[in-house]
Amino acid sequence: MNIIFDIPGGIGKAIMATAVVKGLKSKYPKDNLILVSGHPSVFKNNPSVYKSYNIIQRDTVRKKFIENKECKILAKEPYNEHNHVFQKEHLIETWFKLLDLEYWGQQPDIYLDDQEIQDYKNLYKSDKPIMVIHPHGGAVPEIPYNWVRDIPTKITKRLIEKYKDTHTIYHIKSPNQPIFENVKEEIGPIRKVAILLSMADKIYTIDSFTQHLAMALRKPSNVFWIGTNPNVFGYELHNNIIANPPEFNTNSGLYYGRNLTEPINNLPYLNEDCIFNIEKII
C-alpha cells in the first residue's frame, strides 16, 4: 500500500516531520511512504522514505501512487489540535496522536551523504572555530525585525562583537534581513546549512528551522525564546534562553499564545531592551 504523508508548512515543520516519519514506518513497515512537502530535500537519503515530492507535484503523486492503487492519505494539521493550541505538549507528540502513532520520544533526523559533506565542508574551511548566528525568522519576508521570535538587534551585535576575533562568524539570513559587520552571510540551501551547523563550535539561533536542524544533527545550540514555547517547539538538548515575563498584556487576537507576525506596537514590554537580560546573556 502507498502511504501519502502530506506536510504543509515551513522548513522547521518539515524537519519535525522526520520524527513522525519514524512513527509511520513503525506502524506501516511494509508499505511505501511517499512524502509531499514544501521542502523535499529535508527527506533526502531518509531510509524510511520511499519517495519525496514537492507540494507543487501533487498531481504527479496522484497519478503515480493514488489513482487505481491501494493507498492511504495522511494530511491532518497538528497546528489545529487542542493540545497544540493550548500548548499542552510538544508539537511532535501532538502529531503522533493525530495520526494514531506510538510516541516514545522520537526526534528529528537528517541524513547527509559523504559527497555533500565533502563538497560543503570545503566551502567552510577556517583557521578559527566557527560560530553560527541566526537572529531573524522568515514568517513575513517584508518585516525585517519580528519581536515575537527574533533576537533583539542589540544582543546580536554584542554577541558578534564578543566573538569576532576568536571565531569565523556565519550569519544565516534571508536577502531582505538586517546586515551585520564582521560576519559572513549564509543564505544557502538546507543541506548546505546542515553541514555548516555540524561544523560549528557555537550556535546562537531563534525558534526557527536552524534549531530543529541542530536537533536533527544532535548539535547543542543556544536558542532564544520570546513569543513561542520551547516545551512545544524546542528540545532539551539545547540551552533554551527564555525571555523575561511580559511587562503588560497586549491583544494577540488568538485563543492562546502569539501570532508569528505581531506588529511592533503589540510588544508587551517597555522596549526591546526589556525582553532579555542582555548582560546576563553576554
- How far is 192 from 168, CA to CA, in rounded Å? 17
Residue 275 near residue 147 (C-beta atoms within 8 A): yes
Q: Which residue has the cell 501512487?
A: 65
Q: Where are the domains of the chain?
A: 2-98, 126-281
In this structure, what are the phi and psi dihedrals at residue 33, rounded to the nearest 5 degrees?
A: -95, 110
From the list 151, 203, 215, the residue with the least C-alpha distance to 177 is: 151
126-281: in CATH 3.40.50.2000: yes
- The 10s digit of each residue's pLDDT in 49-80 is 999 999 999 999 999 999 999 999 999 999 99
From the list 194, 215, 199, the residue with the least C-alpha distance to 113 is: 194
**Do 126-281 and 2-98 have the same topology in CATH?**
yes
pLDDT at 257 over 90: no
State residue 233's pLDDT score.
98
Q: Which residue has the cell 516545551?
A: 231
Residue 21 near residue 108 (C-beta atoms within 8 A): no
Kind and range of the H or E element at 191?
helix 190-199
State residue 139's pLDDT score.
63
Q: Domain 2-98 is in which class?
A: alpha beta
- The 10s digit of each residue's pLDDT in 115-157 is 999 999 999 999 999 999 999 987 666 677 899 999 999 999 9
Q: What's the chain look like in SS3?
A: CEEEEEECCCHHHHHHHHHHHHHHHHHCCCCEEEEEECCHHHHCCCCCCCEEEEHHHHHHHHHHHHCCCCEEEECCCHHHCHHHHCCCCCHHHHHHHHCCCCCCCCCCCCCCCHHHHHHHHHHHCCCCCEEEEECCCCCCCCCCCCCCCCCCHHHHHHHHHHHCCCCEEEEECCCCCCCCCCCEEECCCHHHHHHHHHHCCEEEEECCHHHHHHHHCCCCCEEEECCCCHHHHCCCCCEEEECCCCCCCCCCCCCCCCCCCCCHHHCCCCCHHHCCCHHHHC
pLDDT at 271 over 90: yes
- The 10s digit of each residue's pLDDT in 175-221 is 888 899 999 999 989 999 999 999 999 999 999 999 999 999 999 99
